[in-house]
Structure 1
Amino acid sequence: MENSVWVLCPVCGNKTRDRIRIDTILINYPLYCPKCKQETLINAKDLNIMVIKERSEKSL
């Protein structure tokens, strides 16, 4: 797992619970941040992360 990097939250900039490698491809991946409790749809390819849509979790 030397070649992997942490995926950072695009909202708050903290580490999420996910790691990606250089050969990882994510399409419409729902990235959840445990700190700011935001869910964001992302695409990832060649360690480049592109935000598709940001949405917040609603509390019940």
Structure 2
Amino acid sequence: MPEIQWVLCPVCRNKTRLKIRGDTILINFPLYCPKCKQETLITAQNLNITIVKEPDAQTQSR
């Protein structure tokens, strides 16, 4: 049986409503935390979760 683990919020370190298995792969997944009400973009593979840092949107200047 594959290992199952709760996904913890990277901001407040509490459990979210999501569980992942050892063979789960998430790429650019929007993780929402019901406690701190923040959404964070994560990538998960082999039960390792990393936060995806996206650059802020740039305005076009003419």
TM-score range, shorter chain: 0.7 to 0.9
- Equivalent pairs counted in the alignment come to 54
Structure 2: which 5+ residue stretches go unaligned?
A: 55-62
RMSD: 1.8
Distance 2:28 2:52 in 1: 8
Q: Which structure is larger by alpha-carbon Rg, 1 or 2?
A: 2
Instruction: List, as ranges, runs of 4+ consecutive aligned residues in structure 1 with deviation greater than 2 Å.
Output: none
Match for residue 14 of structure 2?
14
- 1:2: Cα distance to partner? 6.6
Q: Secondary structure at the match of 1:11?
A: coil
What is aligned with 2:3?
3
Distance in 2 of aligned mates of 1:32 and 1:26: 14
Identity %: 72
TM-score by length of 2: 0.81
Report matched runs for 1:1-60 at 5 Å.
3-53=3-53
Return the offset for 1:3. 1.9
AA matched with 1:52: V
| Bigger share in strand | 1
